[in-house]
Amino acid sequence: MKFGILTTTTALLIAIGFASGVKAENVSQVKQLLETKECSKCDLTGAQLAGVNLSGADLSGADLSGANLKGANLNEAKLNEANLKQAKLQGASLIAARMHGVNLEGADLTRANLTLAGLVIASLKNTNLSSANLVGANLEGADLAGANMRNARQSVANLANVSLRGGSLSGIDVQGVNLRDANLTGANLTGANLNGSDLTGANLMDANMVNVDLKNAALP
């Protein structure tokens, strides 16, 4: 009996789908994503997509909770209102990704590149953003309660109305950032560079501000 040669897409599907434990009912949607990069509102729960090129993909409203996207290319991807709760995104590239209202609660974005990403009103509760590149990212109105932003890179960005209650900006370089009306209650700001930043109206109650650089900053 002769067997046809598997297409590249089918082979990849088997490699990252069946072999990696994607739920059977999701396999067709994983295949759809890989072949078309169009998977708005798809159920991709727990999908194994590490290292996959998904640049420009439409994943708006998709459920990617618990998905493995380590090292994936999501540059300019549409992830508006997508569910990425507890997703693994270490080292992923999300340059200029559209992530308005995305749910990234508990996700691991260690060393991820979020340059120019749009994260307006995103939920980043307890998200690990340590050593992530957030240069030019828009986090206006985002919820960063409990988030770890230790040693993250951030500059000329908008963090207005952000909530970082109990989170950490330890060692972060956010020179010139807009933190107007931000909720930084109990936040760890140890060693942060807030030189020239706008903290007008920010709530700094019980925040740890040891060795914080506030030169030329606009204070509450």
Contact 79, 98 (CB under 8 A): yes
pTM above 0.95, yes or no: no
Distance CA(83)–CA(65), nearest Å, equals 6
User: What DSSP character marks residue 118?
Assistant: B
Residues whose CB is less than 8 angstroms from the CB of residue 33 and which lie 6 or more positions away in sequence, other chains included: 39, 42, 44, 49, 54, 57, 59
Distance CA(45)–CA(1), nearest Å, equals 36
> How confident is residue 220, by pLDDT bands cut at 50, 70 and 90?
confident
Alpha helices (H) along the chain: 8-16, 27-36
Q: Distance from first CA to last CA of the chain, Å, rounded?
A: 77
HSE (CB half, 13 Å, CA atoms) of 168?
Answer: 15
Residue 168: beta bridge partners? 148, 188
Rg (CA), the chain: 19
Distance CA(169)–CA(26), nearest Å, equals 37
Percent of the chain whose pLDDT exceeds 90: 48
Residue 16 has pLDDT above 70, yes or no: no
Alpha-carbon distance values, 9 to 14, 121, 142, 178, 209 (Å): 9, 35, 36, 44, 51
Q: Could you count the other beta carbons within 10 Å of the beta carbon of residue 45?
A: 19
pLDDT, position 72: 98
> How confident is residue 9, by pLDDT bands cut at 50, 70 and 90?
very low
